[in-house]
Structure 1
Amino acid sequence: MSRSAVDAVPDLSGLLELAQDRRLDMKPVLLRVQTDLFRAAPARDPGTIRAFESLACGLIPTVDAATAAMVAQKLAPLADTPQSVLKLLAAHGGEARDAVLALSPVLSTDLLDAVKNGPALDAVIARRGDLSRAVIDDLTLRDDPAVDLALAENGRARLDGPALERLVARARLRPDLAARLVARDDLPAVDLAPLYLESSPERRIAIREGIAARAALRPRSRPAVRGLGDALKTFALRGEGAAVEAELAAALGLRAVAWNFAEPRRRDLLALALKAAGLTEEEAVFLFLRLDPAIGRSVEAVFALADLFRTTEPATARDLLAAILGEEPAERVASPEQHRPLHGPASPKLRPAAPLLRPALPERTRKVQ
């Protein structure tokens, strides 16, 4: 645009007279045209800004919501847009208000007062790109689903520390929030471990690698429970899937867990639980094949679980289970010097096992009993 066109902006008397003609509703058109001219100006001197302010402030209260929203989207990001213009656009409400709150370089007190700032606008403010860590932390403390979603969708908002922990904790029970968090590639994978089951295969690999690196810094030894593999195989042969799940939870020192291994997205839990419990690869593969028909009949599923079992360290499996389930597996369930049978003779959970699956106890163990 030429300099002469910019200089001609202040002389708008003819346009204003035309806009006052009740037979023609030219006001939305005039506002959109002048907005485009203002945006395209290579330099906005004080005279140009004052002239545009005078015209815009006269037209904004008279235009429809769609026009106000369109103009707000164009003007809000410009540092030269007068605050008086932004206040009138924000006062329009709806999309115009949201655009001003989300895109304006500076949110002045007067501007917030103009839109009656309050909790209802937190979700809009949460979409801004200049949120400080303190503001993000404050917004996550509101425990507002709309605010949480806005922050998760705001790729310019830096999520970490307690703020991210709060969002991840809520995402356990909110699939919509979980989907948006795991879709972001700027968040540390290890911090998204509680959302492992909601993650893509690629993100699951990244989470496991992060957990493994962390677990390697504090290795822990945990003896396997004697006879656990045989007991689980017996249950699997009898088709008692619920007993397998209960036995695994008990062996890991967990409260009642809804494992739901048959659900495709939860199958990884089976390999992780068996690894954390200290089973051998042979025992694990047996259970992959016999525990659930949907798994056993799928070569792809069995191979994937076997590979996960083989490539995961026990400490990593325990830490990942703790993150997913929100509960820390017990470090030790039995003394290495003393055998503690999973079930005594009076236990109703386990009937006499098939001799093939119940090896004879070593002589030393018999003496301890």
Structure 2
Amino acid sequence: MTKSLFPGFDGLMSLSRREGVDVRPTLLRVLTDLYVQTRVHSDDEQRQFVELATRLIDQVDDATRAAVKAKLAIYPQTPVPVLQKLGLVAAQEGRRVPLAREIPAPAPAPSPVRAPTEAEQRMAANMAMQPKDAAEIHDMFFRAGPSERALILHNLAQTPLKAAPRIPTVRAKRAIQILEMAAIAGDVENFALELGDSLILPSRVAAQIVDDPGGEALAVAARALDMPSPNFQRILLFFKPAIGTSVNEVYRLSRLYDRLSDRSALVLLAAWRGSTLAVTRAKYQSALHDGERQRARAGANQTRPGVQPGSSPTVRTGTGGSSER
């Protein structure tokens, strides 16, 4: 039986048509990335790639088509039918039609007067809500099932709790690039490290988000970084194999991500940060309580001296009970 280059492709396509989630741009990018990672392909792999890629090229947006075209233009083993579909057919053997000029990037948006420093973000995050409330929200979210988590995220948008400040745009864009590269490489350690660093989270919470089997925590973290939906879908497909191979899970998390509000994600981010403060306080309060109890016990065991400091002992001189100092 021929091994599929991308298992579940037909199921994802039919689901996207039925449910309205367009995963075709992500699928074409993933197919292309998988294909160009290997220099030699079997006839079956080449046939599958031609069949799938030529179907998708006409069905995706211009930005996706341009990105795929740029990768396949420099890949030496790109099949001829795909080159023809992309307009890269050689005018002479061994040469390809040059690519069109790169589309100029839009002018950058005006930067704010002053982005908050990392220290200011930490202070604002820790003061946003009471540590006890933050710890309760944190624990409640990670204990909940998929439907309960969706309800929690929906309700967080309506709460008066103060949300965490937005991650600066430049830092968020850099984090998205690093996270996607780590996901494609399967580098769990660096993925968790970058996630914690960019969202100002302790390593314990970052690892909990990465290890969360449901994927909702990862969706919240991605939304807090304002990650585009196609990037999040690629991370799901590469970094979470158990989710990426399930049509229903990919669709469920993609729909959750598209409906997830920025405010819900930032409120939960504030709770994740504040929960660490609650854990730290509880640890030190326990240590202080033990220390006070030991000091109290030590004080009770001390014997009271018979003679007060600075006084002279009484000397009895007779039988009449008189005394002389």
Shared fold per TM-score greater than 0.5? no
Greater RCO between the two (CA within 8 Å, min separation 6)? 2
Specify the TM-score bucket, using the shorter chain as the normaliser.
Answer: 0.3 to 0.5
TM-score, with normalisation over the residues of structure 2? 0.38
TM-score, with normalisation over the residues of structure 1? 0.34
